[in-house]
Amino acid sequence: MADFNTHVFGAAAVVSLGATCCTKLLSLGMTDGLMLTVAGMVGGILPDIDLKQSQPSRALFSGLGTIAALAWLFANVDAFTGLELWLGAITVFLLVRFPLWWMFHSITKHRGILHSQIAAIMAGVLMSAAAWQLLESNELQSWLLGIFMTLGYLIHLILDELYSVDFTGVRVRRSFGSAMKPLDMQQLPASCLVIFITLVAWFWTAPYDTAWQQWQALYTDWRPALIPHWIWNNL
């Protein structure tokens, strides 16, 4: 299995190139290109949230706890005093960060369903739905964010498989094949749940036909956009 730094830098190398190409081809703003890169990098570490003591797991549940605490605080700002709001927000954060974190890891295992191709698709669809419903991104931006999330996720799985092969000793470790599986057939209920979440989230995504029309309207010739003229002129 590749380590945390390998996953971060591996995803960053690929998705930053992809984001740069999209920015040039579609005349996107710098903020849009940066968001695509961040989505891909998050996807690049996301599969390891099923590893109990991993940095992605702690960071994800800390982030979810912070979001839940702030949402509770501002939803009840008129109902409680400042001290009550502060104590309530801390309580919500701690409930998400620790009990929910413990429950999640009690029903998941490392290299289980979250290390699968269907989980990569689920992450992308959830990202696209969240961008469309919560971030107020347009149709094309929301789908690009989802695609980059899935791309980063798949890079993580590919790196895990590559690190399952000992090229120096030309042998394959027992973990080979456990990352890039389409589904986890040993955890069928979990696989069915991931498929269900993906299908439900799909109904909250932006119209893909509108996103495709926006792509066609913005797309420019890739040759002058991506290749230096001193190379292109000599081809």
* pLDDT tens series, the chain, 235 aa: 556 677 778 888 888 888 888 888 888 888 888 888 888 888 888 887 766 666 666 777 787 788 678 767 877 877 888 888 889 889 988 988 888 777 766 666 666 677 888 889 999 999 899 888 877 788 999 999 999 999 999 998 888 777 664 434 444 455 555 567 777 777 777 788 889 999 999 999 999 899 999 888 888 776 766 777 767 666 5
Q: What is the pTM of this model?
A: 0.77
Regarding whether 101 and 68 lie in a shared domain, the answer is yes
Regarding whether 123 and 197 lie in a shared domain, the answer is yes
Range of the domain at 88: 54-108
CA distances from 115 to 58, 62, 130, 183 (A): 18, 22, 22, 9
**Residue 141 to residue 135: CA distance in whole angstroms:** 10
Provide CB contacts within 8 A for 192, sequence distance 6+.
none
Domain total in the chain: 2
Regarding whether 65 and 160 lie in a shared domain, the answer is no
Q: Which of 180, 200, 182, 179 is nearest to 191 (CA)?
A: 182
* 124-155 as b/e: b if 16+ CB within 10 A: bbbbbbbbbeeeebebbbbbbbbbbbbbbbbb
Regarding whether 18 and 126 lie in a shared domain, the answer is yes
The predicted structure's pLDDT at residue 113? 75
Tokens of 218: 């913005």
